[in-house]
Amino acid sequence: MRILHLVLAPRLSGAEMLAKDLAIHQQAHGDTVCLSALMPQQEDFAALRAQLDAAGVLCLFPDQPRRLAGRLWHLRGVLRDYQPDIIFAHATIPAFYARALPSRVPVVYVMHSAANDFESTMFRYVERMLSTRARAVIGVSQGNLRDYINSVGTHPLMAVIPNGVDTRRFFVRPAGQRDAASRRVIQVGRYAAIKNQLHTVLAFRETLKRVPDALLEMYGVIEDPDYYVKVCALVEELGLADKVRVNGPQTNIPELLAGASVFAMPSASEAHSIAFLEALATGMPVVASGIPAFAFARGFAGVQLLDTADAAAYGAALSAALAQPRVARSLDGLTLKDTADQYRALARRLISTA
């Protein structure tokens, strides 16, 4: 099969990371794969671009920002030159563009958003016009499909395909290996209000009362500069500059997780977080918000789900987690292979009936 994955921009974000992982996996298993985008590659994607190039995945990204007509012209050129058998359009805006062109290639709209994109009147109107141009609508969570049905209506082919992670990239450190990393809490996610880094900083002040030598490290794309400034300001205000490191994006997530002992994720909302799955794959203790997207992990060893707006409770949970060892967890149904197998089955079904 000739598969095209279309994303908004090559960047360190959930939809783009899944598309990158799927592209490399599919290329390695005999398909011909292209990753394209509507916007130029961001600087933080360079290391992942190198991985795609090494895997033989064709990358066709615009060299400069373009407006609506320019984006359509770029995508038209990609379809003409690459001649895909199927298009997986990851997220709402790429799905709009993929269906706006007059093409017979099957388009699969993959919904990744943690929020309901169709609360926007314009998005709701455009989707109702283009809905029939999608051969399938896929959600990474049941919540995605619920939002679609409530806002747009039903579609003839809708399904949930959860995100999956390549568990081979992660490992469970033996419980006996206790070093300075055993006092390190890590949070990975873009700097935006929905990710609640402020909650973690407030809670960590409480944690330090019980574990004075603990450290907190946060990593992520600075999506909302104003929010990022608030996080940095709170760290200074609380006198935690020597205990909390507010970092930008990183691509070496497996190494960062291996060097920490607790993963924090106080998100207000998520669809099906890859970062959360990666933390589960390491076996490290996880402290996260009690939102529906994380409920599947409630029974997992070493996982605490709670109201992270309660700084005292959140801080106590982090303190308890710092004393816990890593444990092996089964992620059956949530591996990259599981996800790729479902994408392959869907693609074959749609191509055979095109």
DSSP class of residue 40 equals: P
Let me know whether 117 and 203 are in one domain: no
For residues 272, 273, 276 and 278, what is the CA-based torsion angle, rounded to 10 degrees? 100
Which stretches of 12-112 are assigned E, i.e. beta strand? 32-37, 58-60, 86-90, 107-111
Let me know whether 192 and 280 are in one domain: yes
Per-residue confidence of the chain (354 residues) as pLDDT tens digits? 999 999 999 999 889 999 999 999 999 999 999 999 999 999 999 999 999 999 999 999 999 999 999 999 999 999 999 999 999 999 999 999 999 999 999 999 999 998 899 999 999 999 999 999 999 999 999 999 999 999 999 999 999 999 999 998 886 655 545 454 569 999 999 999 999 999 999 999 999 999 999 999 999 999 999 999 999 999 999 999 999 999 999 989 999 999 999 999 999 999 999 999 999 999 999 999 999 999 999 999 999 999 999 999 999 999 999 999 999 999 999 999 999 999 999 999 999 987
Residue 197, domain member (yes or no): yes
Let me know whether 55 and 153 are in one domain: yes
Spatial separation of the C-alpha atoms in residues 345 and 6, rounded to whole Å: 19
Let me know whether 189 and 318 are in one domain: yes
User: What are the tokens at 22?
Assistant: 């799927």
- The pTM of this model reads 0.92
Give bridge partners of residue 78 from the DSSP assignment: none
Residue 327, domain member (yes or no): no
Exposed/middle/buried for residue 22 (C-beta within 10 Å: 0-12, 13-18, 19+): buried
Pure H helices in 101-260: 121-130, 142-151, 197-210, 225-237, 253-258
Find the domain containing 315 and state its range.
167-322
User: What are the tokens at 79?
Assistant: 């379809």
Let me know whether 157 and 224 are in one domain: no
Residue 329, domain member (yes or no): no
CATH of the domain at 146: 3.40.50.2000
Residue 118, domain member (yes or no): yes
Let me know whether 140 and 206 are in one domain: no
Number of domains in the chain: 2
Let me know whether 80 and 15 are in one domain: yes
Q: Supply φ then ψ for residue 127, to 5 degrees.
A: -65, -35
Let me know whether 262 and 340 are in one domain: no
**CB contact at 8 A, 21 and 166:** yes
Let me know whether 196 and 275 are in one domain: yes
**CB contact at 8 A, 227 and 149:** no
| C-alpha closest to that of 210 among 290, 325, 326, 313 | 313
Residue 328, domain member (yes or no): no
Residue 138, domain member (yes or no): yes
Let me know whether 182 and 295 are in one domain: yes
Q: Supply φ then ψ for residue 13, to 5 degrees.
A: -140, 160
Residue 90, domain member (yes or no): yes
Q: Strands 262-265, 286-289: parallel, antiparallel or unpaired by DSSP?
A: parallel
Q: Supply φ then ψ for residue 54, to 5 degrees.
A: -65, -30
* Type of residue found at 348: R
Spatial separation of the C-alpha atoms in residues 233 and 175, rounded to whole Å: 36
3-state secondary structure of 175: coil
For 262-330, the DSSP string reads: EEEE--S--SS-HHHHHHHHHT--EEEE--GGGGGGTTSTTEEEE-TT-HHHHHHHHHHHHTPPP----
Residue 281, domain member (yes or no): yes
Let me know whether 280 and 292 are in one domain: yes
Let me know whether 49 and 138 are in one domain: yes
